[in-house]
Amino acid sequence: MNKPNIIWTNVLIFSITGLVALIGVPWYGVVYGYDGYHLLATVLCIGYCGMSITAGYHRLWSHHAYETNIVIRIIYAIGGAFALQNSALHWSSDHRVHHRYVDNNEKDPYSAKKGFWYSHIGWMLREYQRERYDDYTNVPDLKRDPVVMWQHKNYIWLSAATNFGIPLAIGFWHGDIWGMLLTVGVLRLVISHHVTFFINSLAHLWGHQPYSDKNSAKDNALIAYFTFGEGYHNYHHSFQFDYRNGIRWWQFDPTKWLIWSLDKLGLAGNLRRCGNERIEKAKAQMLLQKANDGLSKLPNADEIRDKLHTEYEHLIEHINQAYEAKKAWLEMKKNDLIEAYDKSEAMKQYKELKSNLQEQRERWNSLVAQYA
Ligand SMILES: [Zn+2]
Ligand SMILES: [Zn+2]
């Protein structure tokens, strides 16, 4: 079978910028030197490009994890063109196909089942899904966003203006045009490209799966550090509408912190989160499955298997009761007509069920830890 045609524009952009970053940038540094401003401007522009993709293209436009005003959307649209990753309309359409058909080698545009190289960059080098390129039927909502359509129609000149204009302007101001073109222009683009590409490649190949193993997506804290929080990809594929990828407050997810801050400043709203009850059940289900797999390697494990299932069922029961009681208590708290006595009764009951759940969690965790 003939291979699809090569997309020369992409091949040339990736190889020329890659070579310049590898050879030209260090050469210029040795001969003329860089200073702190080169570093600062490069880091800030990597942040602008990266967050425009993760907070804008990904969590806002592809998944509607929150809403934001037109000014922020224009800032994302310009940053997305600067990141040179196609228009938000095209990117989001590809990304929705990726979620829908994840790991399907025919349909997932960057299926990690086809290996690291293909899912990282190979998928962009040939016309693998030519028939789908102009098909935007899966993004009708985005066609109604004037910012998305403006960026899509003006993508070529916007990306040229940002990729040349921003480094030139900073270089002119700093008095080193070539140095800034190399660092803010080329090095920034290459780093920004590859860290985003890692989400499609590494985050589907390396890490663990606490929420689901129905697809290849992995959670990997290390990858989260250089992908603006997108390394918690197993969580993301399980609960894609959640504005967070790292759900614990301490998990490195600057995209989540940005969205949260925009909300607090009144610049964003309708932040969507998955309820803790669903998350906890998904984790318990995964642990049960892993423990069962571990047990299948042991002889005469029937008794342990029965115990495991009983404890799992107890856990689910406790989760249901505790979250139900919490809901009832919160409902009462909201309602002023309820007697104070009833409210404190409901709270007492909730606290008791919560501590029962905690005890059961500990039993469950120490049991599964032996086999999972
Ligand atoms: Zn993915
Ligand atoms: Zn996604």
Q: Cα(59) to centroid of ligand 2, in Å?
A: 7
Cβ–Cβ under 8 Å, residues 142 and 148:
yes
Helical pair 188-200 and 36-51, crossing angle rounded to 10 deg = 40
For residue 200, give the ligand nearest its CA.
1
* Cβ neighbours of 316 (radius 10 Å): 17
User: In degrees rounded to 5, what are phi and psi of residue 185?
Assistant: -75, -65
pTM here is 0.92
Cβ–Cβ under 8 Å, residues 273 and 244:
yes
Q: Cα(118) to centroid of ligand 1, in Å?
A: 14
For residue 109, give the ligand nearest its CA.
1
Q: Cα(42) to centroid of ligand 2, in Å?
A: 26
Q: Cα(283) to centroid of ligand 1, in Å?
A: 19
Cβ–Cβ under 8 Å, residues 290 and 368:
yes
For residue 63, give the ligand nearest its CA.
2
What's residue 337's pLDDT? 66
CA 216 to chain centroid, in Å, comes to: 14
How many whole angstroms separate alpha carbon 53 and alpha carbon 70? 16
How many whole angstroms separate alpha carbon 290 and alpha carbon 204? 19
Q: Cα(245) to centroid of ligand 2, in Å?
A: 10
Mean pLDDT for each consecutive 10-residue tract of the chain (372 residues)? 89 97 97 96 98 98 98 98 97 97 94 95 92 92 98 98 98 96 98 95 95 95 95 97 95 97 97 95 93 83 86 92 88 75 81 91 88 78
Q: Cα(200) to centroid of ligand 2, in Å?
A: 10
In the chain, the amino acid numbered 231 is: G
Q: Label residue 300 left, alpha or beta by phi (over 0 means left) and psi (-120 to 50 means alpha).
A: left
Cβ–Cβ under 8 Å, residues 292 and 305:
yes
Q: Cα(240) to centroid of ligand 1, in Å?
A: 10
Q: Cα(357) to centroid of ligand 2, in Å?
A: 32
